[in-house]
A and B are shown apart, each in its own frame.
Chain A
Amino acid sequence: MSTATWLAADPRRLDVDQLIGDPATRVIVCCGSGGVGKTTTAAALAVRAADLGRTTVVLTIDPARRLAQSLGLSNLDNTPREVEDVGRSGGGRLDAMMLDMKRTFDEIVLAHAEPSRAQQILANPFYQSLSSSFAGTQEYMAMEKLGQLVEEDRWDLIVVDTPPSRSALDFLDAPKRLGSFLDGRLIRMLTAPARKSGSAFGRVVTSGFGLVNGILSRILGKSLLGDIQTFVAALDTMFGGFRERAERTYRRLAAPGTAFLVVATPEPDALREAAYFVERLDEEEMPLAGLVLNRVAHSGYVDVSAGRAAAAAEALQAQPRQGLTAALLELHAERMQAVVHDRRMRDRFVSAHPEVPVAEIPARPVDVRDIAALRDLAAAIAG
């Protein structure tokens, strides 16, 4: 297999050690579609950064059980905990935490509403569903938690993976979505009855209020609409601060010091999503550090192609006592087919995005299950 087979030039190499070792890098966000190894990559990079001497915290959103165990995260308590045996020798340190969406929300309520109001909100059934059972809350809370970690200023480097949402950038859109709601007319309609009539606010909305209220109560029923209005009014005083923090975090993400890593596997769907992220980050002027291509097939001997190995295997099958070599050649043919496939996938991405640096992680036969494996993985990413 000669190098002339390939269409695209080699991509720019992503220098991971330079990235995580640079004191100017303060936040690394790993994004990508589901199942590509975002959380594992985030954890591996955090372990390596700590070993390089940095005081690091990794915020994982939804880690697989074994990965969580390998980081010592068997109990979920929404607080960073030190991971033992990482980083100490080089003066670094690693803390790890798992996002607890409900707890994060509760803490905001407790911190930003007066005690009696806070208890009232926490006991509200709408609040309980919103904070624990509804999809979409996670994006808001991930943003909130990241903001808190940044503000605590206890770490040189924060590594975070993104929620497994419909699109991993839902996370970025969360502050804007909340803002559009808070600036919109709906919230005024919902909170209007709780405000004193005669305020400037009240007068503006009165004209359309009756109509909309009528429609809403027809759809929702009077009692549900009433409950919703009570709930929105109770939260009203907190919305502003919530949005302000989300926007501050958003600005922090766009500022120097943040690096986005897009994680993908060499499969069409994952790379399509990766390309989408790359383009979106560019539009939002968010700093993209590069692409981490996970589970790339490799072979120790690429000079015998899939075609040659398969033909040789076929020839050997006709001969006595050559079953073993024939089977190994079939395996090699399969492997080389995967190598070519993955390379083609990578080249396709690189042709369209030549400016994006790439780091590859070779495929391994078994999953990561301890710190040693995370270290190996990080070493592979660093190349």
Chain B
Amino acid sequence: MAPVRARLHVVSGKGGTGKTTVAAALAIALATKGHRTLLCEVEGRQGIAQLFDVPPLSYKERKIAIAPGRGEVFGLAMDAEEALLEYLDLFYKLGRAGRTLDRIGAIDFATTVAPGMRDVLLTGKAYEATRRRDKKRQYVYDAVVLDAPPTGRISRFLNVNTEVAGLARMGPIHRHAVSITRFLKSPSTAVHLVTLLEEMPVQEAADAHAELTANGLHVGAVLVNKVREALLPAKEIKQATAGKLDRKTIAAGLTAAGLEPVDAFVGALLLEASDHAQRIALEQAERKALVEFGRPIFELPLLTDGVDLGGLYALAGHLGGVADAV
């Protein structure tokens, strides 16, 4: 039997690492060759709509992009309240009774006041979408990509149903929470960690990796975003770090290029070279730390002009191997 492939791809990372961009690129990558993927956001920021340059997403799944080879990417902005009403309707056929709950504030309580409930509803929706089948018993989506909460909250987010299953010792909620937990902890779910080659994001990814693993969740790939190429050769990097680049050579070079070799300019270039060298040294150290996770690593280049639709497809091209790697 072939190993189980992940179908729910949860994308997390420290704030500012470009989690949403990477999730979007992954949804395109997983949709290539005629697949259909669903890209979901959970934080109500409408980041996906902005990336794909489409009108704001709603709770209704909608096609937002195509992928090479007749693939399709659908988008969904998850909403705790809609998810709760849908759940009540699906399992309890609560049309008007649902409104009664709304009137006494139970819906509002469950979706905004009560800690934890939002996470229950959102993970429940991801579970439903990933397992949904059409009339021919085929999965509606080949893969679901979740632009999930940041690393600081990801374990709590994915583990919430374990807590709920423990609290509701029996009954419908218990059964539902147990199935979601089982699914999220199965190889069908992979949690990808987005990071930059910087100290704090890597440290957070390492903490998340340890915490997720301890909770029985599967870490998929490490996705390194905004990777810059080294512009200086190794020898010059060393000299730049030691402050030993030759001012005269540089001044002569500037003259040869038709630029005025003023001291202030040469000084600024040396400082910029030293920053670059420090940065490269740091990146090398962080790369080593990432290898320690023992997970497949994918690097995505920095898009210097900012992320647009073309850039997303370019990034997707770097993520083609993720499906097979996890």
Residues of chain A at the chain B interface (Cβ within 8 Å): 33-36, 62, 64-66, 125-126, 129-130, 133-137, 140, 164, 166, 177-178, 180-181, 184-186, 189, 208, 211-212, 215-216, 218-224, 227, 265, 267-270, 299-301, 303-304, 308, 312-313, 315-316, 319, 322-332, 334-335, 337, 341, 364-367, 369
Known: A133-B159, A135-B156, A136-B116. A329 touches B257 (CB 8 A): yes
Q: Does B272 contact A (CB under 8 A)?
A: yes
Residues A181 and B105 in contact, CB atoms below 8 Å apart: yes
Contacts of B213 in A (CB 8 A): none
Q: Does B317 contact A (CB under 8 A)?
A: no
Known: A136-B114, A180-B105. A304 touches B16 (CB 8 A): no
Contacts of B20 in A (CB 8 A): 269
Q: How many A-B residue pairs have CB under 8 A?
A: 227
Contacts of A312 in B (CB 8 A): 254, 257-259
Q: How far is the CB of B192 from chain A (nearest CB, A)?
A: 17
Q: Does B267 contact A (CB under 8 A)?
A: yes
Contacts of A216 in B (CB 8 A): 101, 106
A366 vs B251: C-alpha distance in the bound complex, in angstroms? 28
Which of B23-31, B56-64, B130-138, B275-283 binds A? B275-283
A324 vs B16: C-alpha distance in the bound complex, in angstroms? 33
Residues B198 and A367 in contact, CB atoms below 8 Å apart: yes
Residues A208 and B104 in contact, CB atoms below 8 Å apart: yes
Residues of chain B at the chain A interface (Cβ within 8 Å): 14-17, 20, 43-45, 47, 88, 92, 94, 97, 100-101, 103-106, 108-109, 112-116, 118-119, 149-150, 152-153, 156-157, 159-160, 163, 166-174, 198-201, 203-204, 207, 231-233, 236, 245-246, 249-250, 252-254, 256-259, 264-265, 267-269, 271-273, 275-276, 278-279, 282, 304, 306
Residues A324 and B268 in contact, CB atoms below 8 Å apart: no
Kindly report which residue of chain A lies nearest to residue B263, judged by CB atoms: A301
Kindly report which residue of chain A lies nearest to residue B108, judged by CB atoms: A180
Contacts of A224 in B (CB 8 A): 167-171, 173-174
A325 vs B109: C-alpha distance in the bound complex, in angstroms? 63
**Extra A-B contacts (8), CB below 8 Å, given A219-B94, A328-B253, A365-B278:** A137-B116, A184-B109, A212-B101, A212-B106, A220-B173, A224-B169, A331-B232, A367-B198
Contacts of B101 in A (CB 8 A): 212, 215-216
Q: How far is the CB of A207 from chain B (nearest CB, A)?
A: 12
A-B CB contact pairs (8 Å), 26 listed: A33-B16, A34-B14, A35-B201, A36-B15, A125-B166, A129-B163, A134-B119, A134-B163, A135-B116, A135-B119, A136-B116, A166-B149, A185-B103, A212-B100, A212-B101, A221-B168, A221-B170, A223-B168, A224-B168, A270-B16, A313-B257, A325-B252, A327-B232, A331-B232, A341-B306, A365-B276
Residues B253 and A316 in contact, CB atoms below 8 Å apart: yes
Contacts of B258 in A (CB 8 A): 312, 315
Contacts of A62 in B (CB 8 A): 152
Residues A365 and B167 in contact, CB atoms below 8 Å apart: no
Residues A316 and B256 in contact, CB atoms below 8 Å apart: yes
Residues B14 and A133 in contact, CB atoms below 8 Å apart: no
Known: A35-B17, A134-B115. A185 touches B272 (CB 8 A): no
Contacts of A218 in B (CB 8 A): 92
Contacts of B106 in A (CB 8 A): 186, 212, 216
Contacts of B203 in A (CB 8 A): 64-66
Contacts of B113 in A (CB 8 A): 177-178, 180-181
Known: A328-B250, A365-B275. A220 touches B232 (CB 8 A): no
Contacts of A133 in B (CB 8 A): 116, 156, 159-160, 163
Those 9 A-B pairs whose CB atoms lie nearest each other, nearest first = A34-B15, A221-B171, A325-B253, A35-B16, A134-B116, A35-B15, A300-B268, A136-B115, A184-B105
